[in-house]
Amino acid sequence: MSFPLLTATAVVPAVGAIVVAAVPAGRRSAAKVLALAFSLITLALAAVVFLRFEPGGDRYQLTESHAWIAEFGVRYELGVDGIGVALIALTALLIPFIVLAGWNDADPQETGNSRWRPTQGFFALILMVEAMVILSFEATDVFLFYILFEAMLIPMYFLIGGFGDRAHAGSDQKAAAQRSYAAVKFLLYNLVGGLVMLAAVIGLYVVAGSFSLTEIAEARASGQLEMATNTERLLFLGFFFAFAIKAPLWPLHTWLPNAMGEATTPVAVLITAVVDKVGTFAMLRFCLQLFPEASKWATPVILVLALISIVYGALLAVGQRDIKRLIAYASISHFGFIVLGIFAMTSQGQSGATLYMVNHGLSTAALMLVAGFLITRRGSRLIADYGGVQKVAPVLAGTFLIGGLATLSLPGLAPFVSEFLVLVGTFARYPVAGIIATSGIVLAALYTLVLYQRTMTGPVKAEVKTMPDLKPRELAVVLPLIALLIFLGVFPKPLTEIVNPAVEHTMSDVQQKDPRPEVEAAK
């Protein structure tokens, strides 16, 4: 294929970011329309990537390779496997909904500066993040991936610190201070992880003499490249540390509740449904493929961390009084399930983890966006300020309920399939870990249903009596996500058939096979 399709999927939103940023100050509507148009073009290109990918074909397809920094062996090298294709599709799908949901979030309120263009900046930064995330899912050169892994922090920092939640309780000065704190904390945590990863990237080049993921993996598989045990373990830890912060995994998770709580709702969705997936994706693509022996060595400790994330995140979600922070802690619990599935070292677990990345993105986006619409109407994030919403805004309450049921993995909705596969895969090799992980399901039902009960049922509070129901633009954001949650919950084959071959390759990398069942099937 001569047309650089993978490059185009990243270039289009990057160009869109430049175009939107250049729109004159008085043309906010034009900036919004352009941002939506560029995100839809990107979605169309991602759909072409999805359709052109052959599940039974080569491991990495639609490849591109060009010299970049020849003196150091760095190449602009792209390729996608089934896992990358699924996450590119998720990213490209969510960005138009994020743009629509944030349609009015960055409009200036009162300003005498005619040159101030927050709306243009807001949507330009979102498109730039999309470009970097998509390219990171495509990069097969380790150094190129590292550059993208770090560069996406810059627009995210400005999105968190510069465009805060207008429903923040307290004075504007206090809100700005907390917003700044959340943005700096996000940046510092991820920069520390990135610096450790940079040392590991340099160490990998010293040992392997290449940054190419495919070249290093092939050399290791053929026996042409052998790493000393301690060297491999140190390099693995350098990569995993950075990915665990991005994921986020306990105890490196504390930046997430602050970032999601202080950011606008669309940016909160961008963080947890899109950007954080780069961390768990990289565990599958880089940790397991480059360092198979070290991955198996570290598995017991990582499983413990994943289980702590599941239970700890869910327990803190139960005790939250803030709607957005509740969803943030629930996401920490869900990322624990994803990491658990990856390091269970079974095909069911890793397939479930990949599906979980996609399904968590859809379910969290649906729940968080509806919660954002609710918060905008009332002007408060506190659960105690709501009650009886379903009587005055039944459509809002109904979509909120479906998003919540998806979050707790109700059978028939997409997250159930992925969570079931993760648990089955974990039980097969680590039954005790599987038993502990199931407590996360019980706690998820608790925090989700209690949240719905306290906000949507009961007597109608005076402050919500005049609350309007969802508007057409808001319905256009939420209904397609709900439709996808139902469709993939009933018929997950479109995803599983492209993900499973990639998981088989990963299992081969770590030289693992699924455990034989203890009870043989009846003949």
Residue 183 backbone class (left: φ over 0; alpha: ψ -120 to 50; beta: rest): alpha
The predicted model scores a pTM of: 0.91
SS3 of residue 494 by DSSP: helix
Question: What is the CB neighbour count within 10 angstroms for residue 143?
Answer: 23
SS3 of residue 141 by DSSP: strand
Omega within 30 of 0 (cis) for the link into 251: yes
What's the distance, CA 249 to chain centroid?
13
Phi and psi torsions of 282, nearest 5°: -65, -30
Spatial separation of the C-alpha atoms in residues 30 and 41, rounded to whole Å? 16
**Strands 74-80 and 61-69: what pairing?**
antiparallel
What's the distance, CA 48 to chain centroid?
22
8 Å CB contact between 436 and 337: no
Spatial separation of the C-alpha atoms in residues 410 and 84, rounded to whole Å? 26
**Which DSSP letter does residue 216 get?**
H
241 token code pair: 């540390």
Judging by beta carbons within 10 Å of its beta carbon (0-12, 13-18, 19+), is residue 443 exposed, middle or buried? buried
pLDDT for the residue numbered 523? 55
List the one residue out of 396, 377, 381, 383 whose CA is nearest residue 450. 383
- Residue 342: CB partners within 8 Å, gap ≥ 6? 280, 283, 284, 288, 349, 350, 353
pLDDT for the residue numbered 110? 46
User: pLDDT tens for residues 145-200?
Assistant: 999 999 999 999 999 888 866 555 444 677 777 888 888 899 999 999 999 999 99
The DSSP code sequence of 364-409 is: HHHHHHHHHHHHHHHT--BGGG---HHHH-HHHHHHHHHHHHHHTT
pLDDT for the residue numbered 168? 52
Phi and psi torsions of 67, nearest 5°: -65, 140
Name the residue ranges covered by the structural domains of the chain: 304-518
Residue 483 is inside which H or E element, if any?
helix 472-490
Q: Within 22-64, where are the H helices?
A: 28-52
Residue whose token pair is 């954080």: 276
pLDDT for the residue numbered 167? 55
Spatial separation of the C-alpha atoms in residues 185 and 398, rounded to whole Å? 35
Residue 162 is inside which H or E element, if any?
helix 153-162
User: pLDDT tens for residues 304-337?
Assistant: 999 999 999 999 999 889 899 999 999 999 999 9
Residue 174 is inside which H or E element, if any?
helix 172-208
pLDDT for the residue numbered 171? 45
User: pLDDT tens for residues 98-127?
Assistant: 999 988 877 765 444 444 568 888 999 999
Spatial separation of the C-alpha atoms in residues 386 and 377, rounded to whole Å? 11
pLDDT for the residue numbered 29? 87
- Residue 384: CB partners within 8 Å, gap ≥ 6? 321, 454
Spatial separation of the C-alpha atoms in residues 124 and 118, rounded to whole Å? 10
SS3 of residue 210 by DSSP: coil
List the one residue out of 47, 13, 19, 43 whose CA is nearest residue 31. 19
Spatial separation of the C-alpha atoms in residues 176 and 469, rounded to whole Å? 30
8 Å CB contact between 4 and 80: no
8 Å CB contact between 509 and 288: yes
Q: Which mean pLDDT values do the consecutive 10-residue runs of the chain (523 residues) have?
A: 86 95 86 94 95 87 86 87 93 95 74 58 94 94 93 91 63 72 90 92 88 85 81 93 92 89 90 92 91 92 95 92 92 94 91 94 93 88 88 92 92 92 92 92 92 90 86 93 94 90 85 71 56
pLDDT for the residue numbered 300? 93
pLDDT for the residue numbered 105? 79
What's the distance, CA 141 to chain centroid?
21
pLDDT for the residue numbered 169? 45
Spatial separation of the C-alpha atoms in residues 357 and 365, rounded to whole Å? 12
pLDDT for the residue numbered 178? 82
- The amino acid present at 11, given as its one-letter code, is V
Spatial separation of the C-alpha atoms in residues 513 and 152, rounded to whole Å? 36
